[in-house]
Amino acid sequence: MQASAEPADNVERTISRIREAAAQGAQIICLQELFTSRYFCQTEDTGHFRFAEPLPGPSTTRLGQLAAELQVVLIVPFFEERARGLYHNTAVIFDADGSHLGTYRKMHIPDDPGYYEKFYFTPGDLGFQSYRTRYGTIGVLICWDQWFPEAARLTALTGANILFYPSAIGWHDEEPPDVARAQHEAWEMVQRSHAITNGVFVASVNRVGREGDVTFWGASFVAAPSGELVVRAPHDSETVLLATCDLNAVDTMRQNWPFLRDRRIDVYGALSNRFLDHAY
């Protein structure tokens, strides 16, 4: 979706799109990162904390009720006010009966030009999890998390068959076309690699449209456990993107490409270090 400046408008249009997706047979529906607002992290401004809400809060309560009404699983990313002065970039997962199945708080928080998230968000403290929904076991990570293979692997190890990545990522005005193209290709490539190395489906959900100095590149997609693209949305238009995920493909790929079997967990202890200072 393309976000407007009015949270109430974003919520209403999102509900309309959820209904549209459910009418077309969608069972698990994921919204984009921070769906109620424009991507405010392009600047550091305390006024933007007004977009935060508690859990449960107005938006999540409405969408939990909607999940029950439509009998769909909903992944709802929002700006969480956990306590006064304590905020998270969060996704709440509602099962198809409307129950609050789980909460994920974004673990990796960027601080780059146009993405000043450390000003707003405390890193997540709930770890990497999976959620047994009516329609399958899923994992949820958020945007910057998508660049880290450790996050995908740990979530897959908890039992997830589909990894969802609600996102907000785009091109800055000053970037030349070849750089912009390379950035998008890297974004898609790294997530498709998570699908391959973990034997899972990956669904990445990005916003579209221009906000401030960033044009969000859309191109939401679903990749199969083989890394093949199942579907991809356009770069520049709002889309309800539907994909059928045959979860039997998870077993098939893991049996034929047994990366989990051949992991040498006895020699990976050094991964907990920030950096290794010696070279041979």
SS3 210: strand
Q: Which of 81, 143, 188, 211 is catalytic?
A: 143
Give the chain's mean pLDDT: 97
At residue 177, what is the residue type? P
The answer to whether residue 179 is domain-embedded is yes
Give the pLDDT band (50/70/90) at residue 279: low
Compute φ and ψ for 86, nearest 5 degrees: -130, 115
Is 143 a known active-site residue? yes
Give the pLDDT band (50/70/90) at residue 278: confident
Inform me whether the pLDDT recorded for 87 exceeds 80: yes
Residues in the chain, total? 280
The answer to whether residue 277 is domain-embedded is no
SS3 20: helix
The domain of 115 spans 7-266
The answer to whether residue 72 is domain-embedded is yes
Is 118 a known active-site residue? no
The answer to whether residue 2 is domain-embedded is no
Contact by Cβ (8 Å): 70, 21: no
Q: Which of 30, 33, 80, 245 is catalytic?
A: 33
Kindly report, residue by residue over 114-171, the tens digit of the pLDDT: 999 999 999 999 999 999 999 999 999 999 999 999 999 999 999 999 999 999 999 9
Compute φ and ψ for 61, nearest 5 degrees: -65, -45
Q: Which of 30, 106, 117, 188 is catalytic?
A: 106
- Of the chain, the percentage scoring pLDDT greater than 90 comes to 97
pLDDT of amino acid 33: 98
CATH code for position 181: 3.60.110.10
Using alpha carbons, select from 184, 175, 233, 229 the residue that is nearest to residue 208. Answer: 233
| Secondary structure E strands in the chain | 28-30, 73-83, 86-94, 100-105, 111-112, 115-116, 131-133, 136-140, 162-166, 170-172, 201-205, 208-211, 214-217, 221-223, 229-232
Please give the average per-residue pLDDT across 3-12, as a whole number: 97
Q: What is the number of domains present in the chain?
A: 1
The answer to whether residue 182 is domain-embedded is yes
The answer to whether residue 278 is domain-embedded is no
Helices 149-157 and 177-198 pack at an angle, to 10 degrees, of 30
The answer to whether residue 273 is domain-embedded is no
Is 228 a known active-site residue? no
pLDDT of amino acid 219: 98
DSSP per-residue string spanning 66-91: HHHHHT-EEEEEEEEEEETTEEEEEE
The answer to whether residue 217 is domain-embedded is yes
